[in-house]
Amino acid sequence: MASKAGRFTASTLAVVLALTLNASAHHGTAFFSRDQADMVTVQGRVTRFDFRSPHSYLYVDTTEASGDTVAWRFESVPVPMMKRQGWTTDSLQVGDEVTVEAFPLIDKSERFAWLGKVIKADGSILNPGRTRAIPSWYVQ
């Protein structure tokens, strides 16, 4: 028969592991490429900007060489981190012309990437801040 101390230790370990796995699953960015050769630069128009937590999202339509319109989705950090970098709810508006530098999914299964920075038509730069998802070689 297991001792009370042994059951307590096993229960505590199970709870800690469950919390760690949940946090890792939510905040994982391992599926975004950090390879410099994979980085994408997308020029287009903002179609939506979700300035929210736990993650903000930017949606941009771009036109490919074929003439087809392609929708990109960019994930970024929570609002408090973006606010520290000067972002506001009005930083981007639907219809704004932007250039986005970002880190796409490793498997390239969809047009989805981690936001590196946004360059607006007037040349101003919106930088979401450095996170684990941003490779050390990248200059924001």
CATH code assigned at 60: 2.40.50.140
- Same domain, residue pair 49 and 10: no
Q: Is residue 74 in some structural domain?
A: yes
pTM of the model: 0.78
Q: Tell me the per-residue pLDDT of 80-137, one tens digit each, with 9 for 90 and over.
A: 999 999 999 999 999 999 999 999 999 988 999 999 999 999 999 999 988 878 888 8
Where do we find the tokens 């128009």? 45
Q: Is residue 15 in some structural domain?
A: yes
Q: Is residue 44 in some structural domain?
A: yes
Q: Which two tokens stand for residue 53?
A: 């937590």
Instruction: Note every long-range contact of 26-29, with CB atoms under 8 Å and residues 24 or more positions apart, other chains counting.
Output: 26/54, 29/114, 29/131, 29/132, 29/133
CA distance 120 to 126: 8
- Same domain, residue pair 21 and 88: no
Look at residue 12 and tell me whether its pLDDT is greater than 90: no
Q: Is residue 51 in some structural domain?
A: yes
**What percent of the chain stands above pLDDT 70?**
80
- Same domain, residue pair 100 and 119: yes
Domain holding 18, by residue range, is 1-28
Q: Is residue 46 in some structural domain?
A: yes
